[in-house]
Every structure is written in C-alpha cells, then in structure tokens.
Amino acid sequence: MSISGDQMELREADIRKHYPAALAMLEGFDHTPRVGEARAEARAERSPGIGTRRRFRSTTPGLVTRSTTRPEGVRIVERIEGLGEDALPSPLQATVLQGLRRALAISLAVGEQFSERTGLDALKRDNLAGGLAAARKAEFSDLLAAEALVCLSVFANAAGFLLATHAGEAAVEIGEVEEVLTDNAPLALHGALWELDQDIAAFASDEPRLVATVLAFGEALMGRVEMRAATAPRIEAFTGASWHVEAEDLTIQGFAPSRRGKGGALTMTFKKPNEVVGNHIAKYQAMKLAKMLMAYDFDRRLNPFAELGGFIFTFMGDGAPGTGKTTLIQMMAGLIAGYCEVAGYPFRYQNLSTDNIDSYQGKSGQNAKAFINNVIDPSVIGFGTIDDIDQLAGKRGDRQSSAGQLEITAVLMESFAGANTVVRGNCTFGMFSNYPENVDDALRQRAGARFLVDGPQTREDYIDILHLLIGRNHDIPVGEHDLFAAQEIRSAVAASFESHGRPKEDGLLKVWEATEAKLGKLDTIAKLGTYLKGIQEADHRFTGRAIKNITDAVKVRAMDFELPDEWMENPELFLFKSYDEKLAMIRDMAQPITVDMVVQEINRYADSEFRYADKSDEVAIANMVRDFGRSEEAKRRYLEGKGA
C-alpha cells in the first residue's frame, strides 16, 4: 500500500528497539493502583509466583518514578501461560503475548516520535539534569499527560488490530476501564496492563475468552482515552499526523480505531435492478450511489463526489409495508458487492437491528457506535442499513421510548451530522421505515436524501411484478404487454422527477399556490427563497438543515449521470486511476444546476415532510377517536350493568 502525503512510515527498526522494554513490562512489574480496585479473583491468584520474575524499571530519560509501599505484582506472561492444563503455552497464547508485545512496542515508538515532535524529549533531559525552567513546568506536565494518552491509545488500538483476526464467537463484558493514569507514559502503560491483568484473571476462563477479553479491554480503553483526550492540551501533534506500519498495514490516525481492510461474508439474497418493480427514483439513485462509492480513492481516503458535493452520505427510504424496501437493500448491496469483487476492494455490509437494543445501560449506544465504526472504516467500501428505524431509534419526549432506543438515537444523530462527522465518500447509510412519522424529527432530518419506496403504481408495474414473481413453471401467455418496458430506468426517472414540478401533498400545495399567485413563476433565487420561507411558516420543522439537504440533493442532480458500466467492469478505465484523474473525469461529466432541478428537489423533500406530519397527525387523531369510542362503550356497559 502506498503512503499518502500526510502519513509517516513507522520504521520497523524504531519499533523493534522497544521490544526489550515491552517484554519486560509483560514479564513483570509492581504497580499500586490509584483509581481501579483489584478484583478479588485476581488477588487470590496472584500470591504464587510473586517475585519470580525481574522487575521492570523505567529507563525513560528525565522521569523519576516514586517507589510505593504496597505494590501489586503484575505478571501478564504468567497469567496467560497459566490458562489451561498444559505446562507449555499454546499457539494462541503465544500469539496473544506476541500481539501485546508488538502493540506495546508500537505504542512506545509513536510516543517517542510524539516526544521528539513536541520538544518533550528536551524537557525530559532538562528535568533529569535539574535544569528545567520554572516557566516551562506547566508545559512539561501537559506534554507528559499528552504522551501518556497517545501511548495508551496506540497500545489499545494496535492490540485490537493485531488480534482481531483471532476473535471467535466468545464475547465478554468487562465494564469501564478505570486505571487511566496520565502522569507519564510508562506509568500509564503500567496502569493499563495492571487492569488488563485483572480482567484476564476475572474473565478469561479459556483461550477464546482470552482473545475476547483483550479485544474488549482494548475497545474500552480506547473509548476512555478518547474522552480524556477531547479536553487535553498539546495533543495536536498526534491528532494532526498519522503513522503507517508496513508489516501489518496498520495506519494510526489520531484516536480513531484502526481496522483491517477486510469485508465480511454476505449471506443475503441479492436482487438485480430489473427485479425491482416501480420505485423508479429510489432505484435509480441507489444504482448511482453504488457506482459513486466505487470512485473512492484509498490512498487519498476521499471520494471525488464528496469533494464536488454530489455524494449521498445518509438517505431515508419510506413506504408502506410490502412496497420493496428490503428488495432495494438487496439490490444495492448486490451491486456494490459485485463492483468491489471486480476491483478487488474490501466491501463491508452491516445492518443495525432491534437485536442491538440492550437492557444494560450504555450497551445499546456502544452497539450503535460499533456499527457506525465498522461501516465508516476508511479501509473498506461500506454500506450500513437501519431497517425499521422507527422501532430501533427512540423519539425524544416519547414516554414509550426505552433508554436503549434513546441511546441509539443520540449515537446516530452525532454520527450522521455531528461536530466530528467526516464524510470521506467510502460509505453510505440507509434508514428505512414503514412509519417515518414515528422517527425523531432531528434524526430524520439528518437523512440527506429521501427515497419514496412506493412500490408498483401503474397497470404496467403490476403486470411486470406478477410475471416476475410467478416464476417460469407455467405456460400462461403474457398478452398485450411489453414486459419491463415501463421499468426502463431513464424514461421512468425523468417522468418521476417531472411529476415533482408541483407539490403532491395538500398542505404544501397551498403554500405553492399562494407563493406563485403572489410572485408568479418561481424562477429566481429570491422567489425560491420566499417559497422556502412560506414552507417554514407552515411547518416549523422546516429549518436550515432541510435547506442543506435540498441543496445537497440538487448537487446530486447536477451529477445526474451514471458512471459507465465499462468503468466498473474494467477497473483500469477509472477505478485504478489516481484521485486527480478521477476528479477530472467526473467534473467533465457534470451538468449545470437548473431552476427545474431546484424546484423539483424542494417539492420532493417538502412533500415528504408534510406527508410525515399528516401521517403523524392522522395516527394521533385515530388513536384519540378509538380511545373516546372505548370510553363511551365502557360507560354504556357500566350503566347497563348497574341498572341490572
């Protein structure tokens, strides 16, 4: 893999020189916990063997560590090799130990480079010599804390990356990592290893659970360190750079977890575009988006469509039950998987389902965050779906929403349009619902595009879907009908877009007619802005985010072309070209934005919002009518019974 301009190669020699120190930490050191509490299981098992290994003392220049009077011995090697009945370590035990040693060495190497980049190494020498200026003591303390956070994050990140391929079906819940110390890097790593030793003693009852425990610990430690680093000073030298380890193809970019560029095995049944009847705009945009994803440049870690403003990061598909939402997912996943197979790109599909709602506090949010991180991994092409999002994500203020559902809502909102959201163009998220009016308003508005999945509509659609689903085991003639002619995507999509030249929902149509009666044809920015203001006055939820979603959709229309099929079939024609070449090829195919595009996209988006509001109101009214009817019937029966 080539290294992009903002990456530095972490040389193998710079890593291996830290092997002795890393091995010494694993073999044994003494540590007095400050925050964490020793588990009873770990204390009971620790007495045999204490003192049988040499103690590790920090040799980091400039650091003077205090001795402790009641230390606890930490012997990771003994702990892991003591699992099971065999006196010799198993291959998996050796793999875990080698992974931990490698992760510690990488951590120390990155910490060393951070120290050099920030001038911390010079301050350490001055401190050791007793010549540290008083004016620089605060800076020294801040940099030591920053280095500690860097080393903890890289250790946890690298350990998870190196051991991920050895994970099995076992899973453990270790809880929150407590012993996160930031006095200096060696003490921070001692605290982390002390807590890891405690967790191994408590949870690693066998080898599969050993790997699961180390991975769970690494994930929890990374999350805790990331929270601490959010307010830590002098951390920019780490977050503003990235390091690459050639041997494992590991890239370290700030506090974001690194993952191997590996796709998961897909077991779903794929559908071809001609097997999706109706849903013309949704099908067309899904087909375009599948090809857009393939323009992603793995070296630049950016998609030209994302830079040009025509990329769909999130979208919502809504429609009545049985209109084809699942079929649309199967079609899009199948297209992306096929394109990635031809290009040799890793593809990762994941669905967030109701199984991810957990009764344990915080676990639902963790599940949602893991889902997001798996899909946005910049080393893969990702497609994430959230089916029945109205059941999965809670609506704030709704007393029927569980704590787990609200946790998922918070994670999705922050991930889809939060302060730290970065759209690289390697992945997309689709939210699907039969009842979008039950989705939290703010979360729904984070869907940049709207796909109305309304299923077959015309006589031709119903003939096509009957012929498709009835199969081949018959000799019934088709009759007077040109099979699938109505599904010809170009003409069908053009007609669908043109149908949005006027609003469809009654509430929006009133705003349209009033604005047009006052201003005439909406053909200027000022008139269109007045129309938007009228929509906002009719529906207060129509905010600036709605305008952004509309303009994003307009930019997608400006990219209203499909990348040629031959570009997907022969990667050399486009996919394997440099980022700048891809950008130029796409820019040449773009078309100018027109008034009709803007009007149609305003109406498409606003129609959906009015449709959701009308549905929500109708559902509420129907429920109230039903309650009133029940109350009246109960009163009648009560009076009849009392009279008897």
Question: Average per-residue pLDDT in the chain?
Answer: 83
User: In which element (H, E) is residue 633 found?
Assistant: helix 595-643
Number of neighbours of residue 634 by Cβ within 10 angstroms: 10
What's the 3-state SS for 162-195?
HHHHHCCCCCCCCCCCCCCCCCCHHHHHHHHHHH
Q: What confidence category does residue 55 fall into, taking pLDDT thresholds of 50, 70 and 90?
A: very low
Name the domain count of the chain.
2
Q: Is residue 268 part of a domain?
A: no
Q: What confidence category does residue 619 fall into, taking pLDDT thresholds of 50, 70 and 90?
A: low
- Clarify whether residues 512 and 607 are in a common domain: yes
Q: Is residue 147 part of a domain?
A: yes
- Clarify whether residues 287 and 219 are in a common domain: no
**3-state SS, residue 450:** strand
* Cβ-contact 185, 151 below 8 angstroms: yes
* Single pTM value for the model: 0.57
Of 335-344, 442-451, 515-524, the range with the lowest mean pLDDT is 442-451
Question: What local confidence, expressed as pLDDT, does residue 624 receive?
Answer: 79
- Clarify whether residues 42 and 93 are in a common domain: yes
Indicate the residue among 222, 253, 284 that finishes a domain: 253
pLDDT at 225 over 90: yes
- Clarify whether residues 189 and 322 are in a common domain: no
Question: What local confidence, expressed as pLDDT, does residue 118 receive?
Answer: 93
Of 263-277, 285-299, 343-357, the range with the lowest mean pLDDT is 263-277
Q: Is residue 371 part of a domain?
A: yes
CATH code, domain with 586 = 3.40.50.300
pLDDT at 268 over 70: no
pLDDT at 369 over 90: no
Q: What values do phi and psi take at 198, rounded to 5? A: -60, -45
Q: Is residue 635 part of a domain?
A: no
Domain coverage including residue 597: 273-620
Question: What local confidence, expressed as pLDDT, does residue 147 receive?
Answer: 96
CA separation for the pair 146, 306 (Å, rounded)? 33
Question: What local confidence, expressed as pLDDT, does residue 261 receive?
Answer: 53
Of 135-144, 255-264, 630-639, the range with the lowest mean pLDDT is 255-264
Question: What local confidence, expressed as pLDDT, does residue 58 receive?
Answer: 44
CA separation for the pair 49, 51 (Å, rounded)? 6
CA separation for the pair 535, 396 (Å, rounded)? 24
Q: Is residue 628 part of a domain?
A: no
- Clarify whether residues 242 and 295 are in a common domain: no
Q: Is residue 26 part of a domain?
A: yes
CA separation for the pair 190, 75 (Å, rounded)? 11
pLDDT at 63 over 80: no
Question: What local confidence, expressed as pLDDT, does residue 613 receive?
Answer: 66
CA separation for the pair 375, 428 (Å, rounded)? 8
Q: What confidence category does residue 640 fall into, taking pLDDT thresholds of 50, 70 and 90?
A: confident
- Clarify whether residues 118 and 38 are in a common domain: yes
